[in-house]
Structure 1
Amino acid sequence: MYEVLIVDDERSVVEGVAATLPCDELKISTIHKAFSVTDALSIMRRSSIDLIITDIRMPGISGLELMDKVHETSPSTQCILLTGYAEFEYAKRAIIGGASDYLLKPVNDDDLIRAVDKALGTVRREWEALISRDHTLKTMRDNLPLLRRDLLLELLQGHALPRAALDERLSSLMIPLSQGDSVALLLIRMEEPFVHYNYKDRTLLEYAVSNVAEEVLRDHCQVWLCKETHGYLAFVVKRSVKEQPRGVPKSSAREQLERLGELIQRQVQTYLKGAVSVVIGEEGPFPEHLALTYSSALTAFRKHISSGKGYLVSLGEHQERASVQTLRQLYEPPTVQDLLEAGRWDAFEAKLSLIFKELEQDFSDSAEHAFETFCAVTGALAFIAHKSGYGLFDFLPPSERASLTFESFETFGQLKEGLFRLSALMRTSLEREAADGHSKLIYKVHRFIEEHLDKPISLQMIGEYVHLHPVYVSQMYKSVTGESLTDYMLRIRMEKSAYLLKTTNLKIYEIGNKFSYQNAPYFIKQFKKVYGKTPQEFRDEHSV
């Protein structure tokens, strides 16, 4: 949607141009009006204007000078110049200054609409150019390290990407891996004395450790690295083909990675005077193996409390598995809290169904996993309740509040039913409150308009009255009522005008004055726009 500014020292011209423009057809969200260049510049400082329609000859600064000032600060803003003088010098100056069009007064409505459509088309094409393929590719190259990091984090955290989408991202980010490649994960943690460094020094140190590790690994492996969410350095490595002769057992591959891990530790100690711990995962198929080995590597770090000197752990093929497994659906992104914060209640309920499906299939006799689910879900619901200004118990009838404890649920079915009921009560209450809030806001907007029909009313004035941004008020009003604020104000003024035409002997210009139309021809034009006939024709039809 576009914002247009009309500038002329004659109010009737400004109002006439504004009334002529079909805003919905031209995708114009806001029309700003200024009656001097000073007013126009003030509006430009507050709003992002896409098109200025300005008279050339005005007291003080001319429209040509205004165009120059606008292009100094906002080169993308288009300008249409209006003039009552068909002078060659004006036209020449307008063309040199970069005006989108040059129209002679009185302006023909169709010519004006075509000129505005052409100018806004230029604005649209310039924005499209900004997001063109070449620009996108350049931006991607500039942000390549960050984009590579983001993709690796997604895979480490178990995000499932469609095969074609993953292939495309690997190719565009120039990552030398293919789906099905055998890869291993190395996780590196800073130890003494690095853990005591301040943020800036530690960031530089992590960069240096990454360089050391890459230097050690790159002669033997293709490497993809990032700093993961716990602050560890994660390296996905694919050993070179020459390092994997046919028939060599996996234990040899593991031993080679262990030697490289030890070399990284020695180089860091020698050149950076500090220690790092290294966890080396088993090789497995890319990408599905990454999330599993990453989880195992994090578990290894949690199980090994370092003395500060650094250690190396290799997750061998026959490593002992933990007897207690993780409830995967509960923590797989997006989490229940993510969905609740986004207001995606349907997706939250679907996620809850998947959690209980996994509970019933894999942990049917585990009270601990059921308790884990109860805590995680009620915690997420309580967080949303508190953000909304309520307590969790506020959504339950008084007779049910005492039953919101884990011990009150004897079966998975009861727990599932209880959590779904709690979420449904919250959803109903919060959505009703949001709807009530919109109704109250619309009532306040209507009351303000009714009380100020005899004056020009702008979105800015309405926004200030309800203490909200005018763009938000406009969008909210349109989404709830299906009618724009501009259309509503026009309709209510014309309806009241029609009533006075039928019931009083007031002159037409007097009726127009009552509803802020100081220019009788403009009032007649607006009335005909709504009723399809002039006020006099309307009065004649309804006279007794």
Structure 2
Amino acid sequence: MLNMIVVDDEPIIVDGLYELFQDVADVELTLYKAYSAVEALEIVRRTKMDIVITDIEMPELSGLELQKRIAAQWPACRIIFLTGYSDFSYAHNAVRHGAADFILKTEGDEKIVDAFYKAVRSITMELDAEKLLEKAKRQMRMALPALQTQYLLHLVEGDVPEKDRIRAQRFTELGIGLSPDAPVLLVLGRVDDWHADMSGTDKALLLYGVHNIAEEYLSRCRLAFAAYSVNKFAVFVQPGETEAGQGDGEERDGGSALSMFVGGMLDNIQSSCKSYLKVTVSLAVGREPVEWAAAGRQWLELERLLGRGLGLGREALLTEGRETPADERMAVDTATERKLYRLLKRIDRAEAALENGQREAFVQWFDDVMEAVDRETPFNPFQTEAYYAVAQLLLKSINRTGIRPEPWTPDDLDRLMNVRFHAGWREAAANLRRTAELLFEKKQRDRSDRSDELVVKINRFIHDHLDEELSLNRLSEKVYMNPSYLSRLYKQLTGVGLSEFISGARMEKAKELLRSSRHKIQDICKMTGFDTPAYFTRLFKKHTGLTPQEYRELHGKAVW
């Protein structure tokens, strides 16, 4: 949708052009008009303007000065100057200041319409797909470190291992300096304590400092660094170029040598972080390099090592063991544990789906979580973790939105927040599912009710103010929405565009007044919001096939 304003100190020109562009059907256009540059500025201050057709010579403020002020607020706005002066200096100044076109008033409507479509094409070209793609590429290069981190984390946290061909393609696209085919050794780290007065920016800079220290000590290796929470980071390590080109037997030895080298350097990395960055870090390294498909298992084991906090729980240096003592492991399959871990990592997506009313996406995630821990045993810790993760998500949504499932009682809250309230796991999972379904149903009803209220409010305002200016901007202020969004939403809800509805309402009111009142036609024109009798007559005949006078004579009642 485009916004356009016509500005001139001669009302006949403003009204004529306003009527001319009312008939434009192939461009979604909202029209405004102003009888002075000062009046135009008031409109432009509160409404984004795409095209301006303006006179140059006007009292108080010239068109050239108006152009400068509009450009300061809406730089992409196209200005079409319309003037009675053929002096070349005017055209030169107008174009020099960025005017889209310069037209003499004597050149006629066709020339003005051509200039309008030229401006529309110019605006459209700015959204050209190739330009957008090139801009996206530039932005992608700037965002490359973040995209690399995101993809590496996806590899170790994803449910399904990435296919070799796809992984190789993504490494190339993102410029990741690791081999997509060679084994990789993982090192996970944690900043044990941040200083109390550190901002988020300070923490990010310190993690970047940790990255630089790791690169310095592991300079003979290829590595990638990825920060994955406010205080955790991962280092993906492979042998350097000279070490990577060894035979199969040497490659296995090379893997052991890599693990030994990296493990030996962790103490140096830890000490340097403390000395130069004034932060303490804990580090855990994998036992040996693993294939990318197995990196997720090594990641999970290192996360567990750091989480157990062996020794003092600070400045730990840990190595993945070949076996973990049975008494330190839950009696749950490692695959199940890993799947739950990854699903709960995606809880932010589930929260977004819940907030946006995307039932299908939420239910899919919920079913995956329940399936991951479903077993015919008494409640185990992983079932309890899954239950409370979902329960807290539902409660958070209820509190944030103020939307309560119906029916909803204090007992329902107790049942939601106490897993032991239920006789078994299947009953507990069913209660979570029921609560989520009730929440989605209530959200949908509320959304539908609010949409109906919006349409009723807009329609009532239109009918009560048919004799006034009913611009999209004015209507949007009444319902506190962006004008473009209101236009799209109204058409989506009703199947009719706002401009079409306003025009139809005005026409019905005019027909009613013609049938049942003694008002003059020019008064009816004003009472129904049409700008001029000529425009009213032309539009009325287009709508009914009759002029207003012919309609009155055919359908009017004897009211005098």
TM-score range, shorter chain: 0.7 to 0.9
8 Å contact from structure 2 (residues 506, 529) kept in 1: no
Tell me the residue number matched to 1:51. Answer: 51
Q: 1:426 to 1:274 in 2, by over 3 A?
A: closer
> What SS is found at the alignment partner of 2:26?
helix
> What SS is found at the alignment partner of 2:184?
strand
2:330 is aligned, of 323, 348, 355, to 323
Q: 1:293: Cα distance to partner?
A: 2.5
2:393 is aligned, of 353, 374, 380, to 380
Q: 1:201: Cα distance to partner?
A: 6.0
8 Å contact from structure 1 (residues 382, 391) kept in 2: no
Q: 1:505 to 1:285 in 2, by over 3 A?
A: farther
Q: 1:224: Cα distance to partner?
A: 0.7
The one-letter code matched in structure 2 to 1:228 is: Y
8 Å contact from structure 1 (residues 224, 235) kept in 2: yes
8 Å contact from structure 1 (residues 180, 285) kept in 2: no
Q: State the superposition RMSD in angstroms.
A: 3.5
Q: 1:471: Cα distance to partner?
A: 4.3
8 Å contact from structure 1 (residues 277, 311) kept in 2: yes
Does 2:364 align with 1:364? no
Tell me the residue number matched to 1:42. Answer: 42
1:294 is aligned, of 299, 315, 321, to 299
Task: Give the Cα–Cα distance (whole angstroms) in 2 for the partners of residues 232 and 175 of structure 1.
Answer: 20
Counterpart mapping for 1:116-515 below 5 A: 116-128=116-128, 131-158=131-158, 163=163, 166-191=167-192, 198-199=198-199, 204-219=205-220, 221-243=221-243, 245=246, 246-247=248-249, 248-249=252-253, 250-268=255-273, 275-285=280-290, 287-305=292-310, 307=312, 310-320=315-325, 322-325=329-332, 326=337, 327-328=340-341, 330-334=343-347, 335-360=349-374, 363-368=375-380, 369-391=382-404, 394-396=406-408, 406-407=419-420, 409-410=422-423, 412-515=425-528
> What SS is found at the alignment partner of 1:367?
coil
Q: 1:427: Cα distance to partner?
A: 1.6
Q: 1:522: Cα distance to partner?
A: 2.0
The one-letter code matched in structure 2 to 1:33 is: K
Q: 1:114: Cα distance to partner?
A: 3.5
8 Å contact from structure 1 (residues 183, 286) kept in 2: yes
8 Å contact from structure 1 (residues 6, 34) kept in 2: yes
Task: Give the Cα–Cα distance (whole angstroms) in 2 for the partners of residues 421 and 48 of structure 1.
Answer: 46
What percentage of residue pairs aligned between the two structures are identical?
Answer: 29
Q: 1:169 to 1:116 in 2, by over 3 A?
A: farther
Tell me the residue number matched to 1:83. Answer: 83
> What SS is found at the alignment partner of 1:61?
coil
8 Å contact from structure 1 (residues 528, 535) kept in 2: yes
Q: 1:303: Cα distance to partner?
A: 0.9
Task: Give the Cα–Cα distance (whole angstroms) in 2 for the partners of residues 499 and 270 of structure 1.
Answer: 86
- Give CA-to-partner distance per residue, 1:206-229, whole Å, 9 cap, x none: 43332221011121x111112221
Q: Which segments of 5 or more consecutive residues in structure 1 lack a partner in the other structure?
A: none
The one-letter code matched in structure 2 to 1:437 is: R
Task: Give the Cα–Cα distance (whole angstroms) in 1 for the partners of residues 314 and 446 of structure 2.
Answer: 57
Q: 1:217 to 1:24 in 2, by over 3 A?
A: farther
Task: Give the Cα–Cα distance (whole angstroms) in 2 for the partners of residues 94 and 162 of structure 1.
Answer: 58
Task: Give the Cα–Cα distance (whole angstroms) in 2 for the partners of residues 353 and 475 of structure 1.
Answer: 35
- Give CA-to-partner distance per residue, 1:79-119, whole Å, 9 cap, x none: 11223455555445444443323344477665444322221
> What SS is found at the alignment partner of 1:52?
strand
Q: 1:166 to 1:112 in 2, by over 3 A?
A: farther
Task: Give the Cα–Cα distance (whole angstroms) in 1 for the partners of residues 408 and 67 of structure 2.
Answer: 62
Q: 1:496: Cα distance to partner?
A: 1.2
| Number of equivalences | 538
Task: Give the Cα–Cα distance (whole angstroms) in 2 for the partners of residues 23 and 277 of structure 1.
Answer: 68
Q: 1:385 to 1:117 in 2, by over 3 A?
A: same
The one-letter code matched in structure 2 to 1:181 is: A
Structure 1 length normalisation: TM-score? 0.86
Q: Which segments of 5 or more consecutive residues in structure 2 lack a partner in the other structure?
A: none
- Give CA-to-partner distance per residue, 1:231-270, whole Å, 9 cap, x none: 1232111112533543134544422321232332354466
Q: 1:400: Cα distance to partner?
A: 7.2
Q: 1:24 to 1:418 in 2, by over 3 A?
A: farther
Task: Give the Cα–Cα distance (whole angstroms) in 1 for the partners of residues 547 and 85 of structure 2.
Answer: 31
The one-letter code matched in structure 2 to 1:387 is: R
Q: 1:230 to 1:396 in 2, by over 3 A?
A: same
> What SS is found at the alignment partner of 1:182?
coil
The one-letter code matched in structure 2 to 1:519 is: T
